[in-house]
Amino acid sequence: MGDKKKEQLLEELLDVQKMLEKKTETQGQMIKKFQILIANEGLFSQIIDFFPYPLAIFTSQYTLTMVNKAFTVETKIQSMDLEKEATRILQYKIDDVQLVTAVTEVFNGNTFFIEGLKKPFSMFSGIKQQTALQPDRFKKAVIFPVPADDAEISHGVIVFMP
């Protein structure tokens, strides 16, 4: 392999590494901010509700504990429905292997950034069909853990992004 090709390959690898580092840093900042919000519970629910992207918080039993307004608008599911009946993440309804892995591995402390999602809201029970306003609008998701005070992962969070 010529020196120019090696140099070009190294430059391309360096660019990819910088891009991955930037994504990881952004995800880390989002997680830290979310943890601060949880510590301030009163602000927590208000800020989450006004977050512009659909967001769902779930337990290790894959039961939704909270969704924000953007989620309810997008899926037409009411947050009151969460209180009446357990809305769950149904793993058998997830077509994307990356998403299944992320939803299950988040409780091991892993964070995931996934692109190329198709019909991501269909994985939730209580959403009879893909009722999202624009079903192909949200093609990306960040799934990250939220540790409790004892550092055990108590919840996972999914943020859907265009």
Task: Show the tokens assigned to 7.
Answer: 């140099």
The pLDDT of residue 130: 47
DSSP string, the chain: --HHHHHHHHHHHHHHHHHHHHHHHHHHHHHHHHHHHHHSHHHHHHHHHH-SS-EEEE-TT-BEEEE-HHHHHHH---HHHHHHS--BB-GGG---HHHHHHHHHGGGT--EEEE--SSGGGGBTT--S---SSTTS--EEEEEEEE-TTS-EEEEEEEEE-
Banded pLDDT at 119 (limits 50, 70, 90): confident
Which of 47-61, 100-114, 138-152 reaches the highest mean pLDDT? 100-114
Q: Where are the domains of the chain?
A: 3-161
Global pTM reads 0.69
Structure tokens that stand for 108 in this block: 């091991």
Quote the pLDDT of residue 10.
Answer: 80
Q: Is the pLDDT of residue 121 over 70?
A: yes
Q: Please state, in angstroms and rounded to a whole number, the distance separating the CA atoms of residues 136 and 155.
A: 26
Q: If you search the block for the tokens 């950034």, which residue do you land on?
A: 113
pLDDT at 39 (0 to 100): 59
Q: Domain 3-161 classified CATH 3.30.450.20?
A: yes
Alpha-carbon separation of residue 35 from 18, 28, 43, 105 (angstroms): 26, 11, 12, 19
Query: Sign of the CA dihedral 37, 26, 103, 69?
Result: positive
Quick: pLDDT tens for 16-57.
Answer: 888 888 777 777 766 766 666 555 555 556 778 888 999 999
pLDDT of residue 88: 86
